[in-house]
Structure 1
Amino acid sequence: MTEQTLGAPDRDVVLLERVAEVSANLRREVEKRIVGQHHVVEGLLTALLANGHALLVGVPGLAKTLLVSTVAEALDLEFSRVQFTPDLMPTDITGTEVIEEDRSTGRRVFRFVKGPIFANIVLADEINRTPPKTQAALLQAMQERAVTAAGQTYKLDAPFFVLATQNPIEQEGTYPLPEAQLDRFMMELRIGYPSREEEEQIAMTTTGDDRPTVSSVVTASELVELQHLVRRVPVAPSLVAYAVRLVRATRPDDAEAPALTRQYASWGAGPRASQYLVLGAKARAAARGDALPSLDDVRAVAPAVLAHRVVLNFEAEADGRTTRDVIAELIENSRSWT
C-alpha cells in the first residue's frame, strides 16, 4: 500500500495497517468462544469501526450475550449489561440523584450516581421487554453520546456502543421498538442456528471445565483513533451516488422507486441509512487494509443497514415476502446501475 493510494500522511497508512491487524486479532479472539456466526462478527466489527450501534436478533441460546461480552473483553473496554424487564425505569439506566449528608457540616446535598449507561459497551439485553419510556432513555445516549439528568448534561466516554439483543419469536409481554430508536441502530444483525458441524463443536467445547481466555487486542483510546481513520478513508463520488440511490429505491413515494418497492413497501429508509452505507463500506474496506471502498462493500453492508428501516405493507405479508427478501432483490437489481 502506498501513500498515494490512501491520499493521506504516513501516519494514516500505518493506522490503516493497524485497523486490518486489529480486525484479524479480534476475529481470532472471538473465535475462541464463539463457533461460527462469522457474518455477525463481521457486522459487529464494521459497526464498531464505524462508531455505530447494533441490534442482534435471534432466538434464545445462540450466544448473543456471550458474543457481546467477548467482544468487549477483547477490546479492553468497560462493559455493562442491562437486563430489560417490564418494571425497569429510565433512571435504572441513566442513573439517579441521591441525597448525601456532609458529616462535618450536617448539610444535605444531591449527588448524581451514574447508571450502567456510563460504559464503553452497553449490552441492552432483550431491549423489547421494557416499556417505551424506558427504551427512550437510550435515545440521547445513542445519538449524542450524552445523558441529561436533573438539568445537567453528562458526556459519555468514547468509544461508546449500544449492542442490543431481541428475541424475534416471543412477542407476549414485549414492546416493539419505535422507529426513531430503530433508526439509531446502524445495523440489525440476524443470528441463525449453527450448522450441524458447528453445533457438534459447540456441544464438545462448551461442556468441559475449560473456559478460553480472551486477550485484549486494542485499547479504548486506540480504537477511537482507528474510528477517526475510518472516517478519513476516501470514497469515490460514484460510490456515494450508488449508496444514496439504493436507499431512495426503498421509498415507495420516490419518483424513481422501482415497481417492487411501490408494490410492497409502506415506508423506506431515511438519510441516516445513506450515511451508514457509506460509513459501513469505509469500515469494511479498512478492516481488510484497503484504502478504497468498493460498491461490493456497500452491497455487503446494505442488508443489515436497511433491514430495520424498511416497513412492508399488507400485500407483502399476504405474498409471503419479508423485508430481507425485498432488500436482497433491490440489491441484486441495483447491479445493473453500474
Structure 2
Amino acid sequence: MSSSSAPLPATDEADVALLREVPKLYARLQGELSKRIVGQEEVLRHLFLGLLAQGHCLMIGVPGLAKTLIVKTLSEAIDLSFNRIQFTPDLMPSDVTGSEIIEENDHGKREFRFIAGPVFTQLLLADEINRAPAKTQSALLEAMQERRVTVAGRTRDLPAPFFVLATQNPIEQEGTYPLPEAQLDRFLFCLHVGYPTAADEVRILQSTTGAPPAALEKVCTAETLLGLQRAVRRVHVPASVAEYAVRLVHATRPNNALAPASVKRCVQWGAGPRASQALALGAKAAAALDGRLNCAAEDVAAAANIVLRHRLILNYRAEADNLTADVIIADLLKAVKA
C-alpha cells in the first residue's frame, strides 16, 4: 500500500499534526474499549472510521452481541453525549425530534416551550430502527442528512459532532418496516456484527459475571473529534484512486459495461453517486488511521463491503441462488482492477 509523509498543499500544519496523532489516539481508544468490549475488533475499527468520516452507521446483528454496549462505551471514551431510542411500532415522530407544549410563564401568560427529543445528542443509538413505521423513520432523515430538525415550523441545529448508529435484527422480521432505499443511502457504512469466537465468549462470561466493569478514561473530547473530522476531509485522494472508486460503483449497475456477470444477473438497481463519495471518505479515514496523508486503491477496496452492501438492491435470482451482497461485491473487486 502506498504512503506519503509529505504535507498536502491544501493542508495546514495543524491538520497534519492532528492526522499524525490518529493512530496513537485509536490505540488508546482500543485500550479503553477493551475494558468492556471483548472481541469485535473489526466492528470497532469501522465505527471509528465512521466517526472520522462524519458518517452514520447501520449495525446488523442478532440480539445479545453487545451492539448497545459498544455504542455506549464509545460515547464514554470519546466524551460524547449519548441517547438511545428504542424503536417500536407505536413510536411517534415527536418522540424522536421533540415537541412544543403550552405552559404559563412567570407573568401568568401562556406560551409555547420546546421540549427537545432524544435526537438532540452527539451520539444517538436508534435501536431496532426497522420496528417503527415509515413516518417515524423519516423523522431521522433530516437529522441524518442536514444535522438539524424542524419542529412546528422552526429549524433547530443538532449538537456537533452528530452521529447516528442504528441497529437491525436480521431475524424476527414479522411486524417490522424495512428501511426505504433513500434512508439506507443515508448510512455511510453497514456493519455486520457476528458471533464471538469460543475464546472470546469465555472471556465475556468471566468479565460480565464478576466484578463491575472498570471506569473508562476519556480518550478525547468532542472538540478534538471535530478537528479530526476536518483534518480527515483534507486527506488527498489521487485521481487514479478516485477513478477506481467511481469504476467500482459504476460496475454495480446492471446496464454498465463494467458490470460482472453476477451483477447483471442478480442486481436490480446498483449504487448511486453517494456510494462513490462514501468510498472516498472511508478511504480517507482508513489512510489517516494508518498514519498516511494520501489514500490508496487498497483503502477503497477495503471499504467496498461496508459501503456497498446496503446500497445494492438484489432481485429474485439472487435469493434463488442464495447470493448475498457481499458475494457480489467480491466479484466486483475481482472484475474491476485498480
TM-score (norm 2): 0.96
Aligned ranges 1:248-267 → 2 under 5 Å: 248-267=250-269
Contact 2:56 2:165 in 1 (8 A): yes
Structure 1 segments, 4+ long, off by >4 Å, are: none
Pair 1:82 & 2:82 matched:
no
Deviation at 1:21, TM superposition (A): 2.1
Superposed CA offset, 1:116-168 (max 9, x none): 00000000011111111000000000000000011110011110000001100
Q: For residues 103 and 192 of structure 1, what CA distance do their matches in structure 2 show?
A: 55
Q: For residues 4 and 180 of structure 2, what CA distance do their matches in structure 1 show?
A: 46
2:192 corresponds to: 190
1:202 corresponds to: 204
Judged with a 3 Å threshold, the aligned counterparts in structure 2 of structure 1 residues 102 and 10 are, in CA distance, closer, same or farther, namely closer
Judged with a 3 Å threshold, the aligned counterparts in structure 2 of structure 1 residues 6 and 314 are, in CA distance, closer, same or farther, namely same
Q: For residues 113 and 41 of structure 1, what CA distance do their matches in structure 2 show?
A: 33
Contact 2:7 2:16 in 1 (8 A): no
AA in 1 matched with 2:97: T
User: 1:143 aligned to 133, 142, 145, which one?
Assistant: 145
Deviation at 1:200, TM superposition (A): 0.9
Contact 1:3 1:10 in 2 (8 A): no
1:37 corresponds to: 40
Deviation at 1:5, TM superposition (A): 4.3
Q: Where in structure 1 are there 5+ consecutive unaligned residues?
A: none
User: 2:27 aligned to 24, 31, 39, which one?
Assistant: 24
Superposed CA offset, 1:161-200 (max 9, x none): 0000110011011111111110000011000111111111
Aligned ranges 1:310-325 → 2 under 5 Å: 310-325=312-327
1:327 corresponds to: 329
Contact 2:35 2:213 in 1 (8 A): no
AA in 2 matched with 1:271: P
Q: For residues 216 and 187 of structure 2, what CA distance do their matches in structure 1 show?
A: 27
User: 1:103 aligned to 93, 98, 106, which one?
Assistant: 106
Contact 2:103 2:110 in 1 (8 A): yes
Q: For residues 292 and 18 of structure 1, what CA distance do their matches in structure 2 show?
A: 15
Q: For residues 29 and 329 of structure 1, what CA distance do their matches in structure 2 show?
A: 37
Deviation at 1:13, TM superposition (A): 2.2
Aligned ranges 1:265-304 → 2 under 5 Å: 265-304=267-306
Contact 2:58 2:165 in 1 (8 A): yes
Q: For residues 315 and 120 of structure 1, what CA distance do their matches in structure 2 show?
A: 41
1:68 corresponds to: 71
SS of residue matched to 1:281? helix
1:305 corresponds to: 307
AA in 1 matched with 2:20: E
1:48 corresponds to: 51
Q: For residues 136 and 154 of structure 1, what CA distance do their matches in structure 2 show?
A: 17
Q: For residues 4 and 188 of structure 2, what CA distance do their matches in structure 1 show?
A: 31
SS of residue matched to 1:215? coil
Contact 1:83 1:124 in 2 (8 A): yes
AA in 1 matched with 2:79: D
2:94 corresponds to: 91
Bigger mean CA offset, 10-19 vs 274-283: 10-19
AA in 1 matched with 2:156: Y
Contact 1:50 1:280 in 2 (8 A): yes
Q: For residues 6 and 198 of structure 2, what CA distance do their matches in structure 1 show?
A: 47
AA in 1 matched with 2:86: Q
User: 1:12 aligned to 15, 18, 21, which one?
Assistant: 15
Contact 1:3 1:13 in 2 (8 A): no
Bigger mean CA offset, 248-257 vs 164-173: 248-257
SS of residue matched to 1:113? strand
Superposed CA offset, 1:259-288 (max 9, x none): 221111001111111001001000011012
SS of residue matched to 1:4? coil
Q: Where in structure 2 are there 5+ consecutive unaligned residues?
A: none
Deviation at 1:28, TM superposition (A): 1.6
Contact 1:2 1:13 in 2 (8 A): no
Contact 2:251 2:257 in 1 (8 A): no
AA in 2 matched with 1:129: R
Q: CA RMSD in A?
A: 1.3
Share of identical aligned residues, percent?
A: 56
Aligned pair count reads 335
Bigger mean CA offset, 20-29 vs 280-289: 20-29
Deviation at 1:2, TM superposition (A): 8.0
Deviation at 1:293, TM superposition (A): 1.0
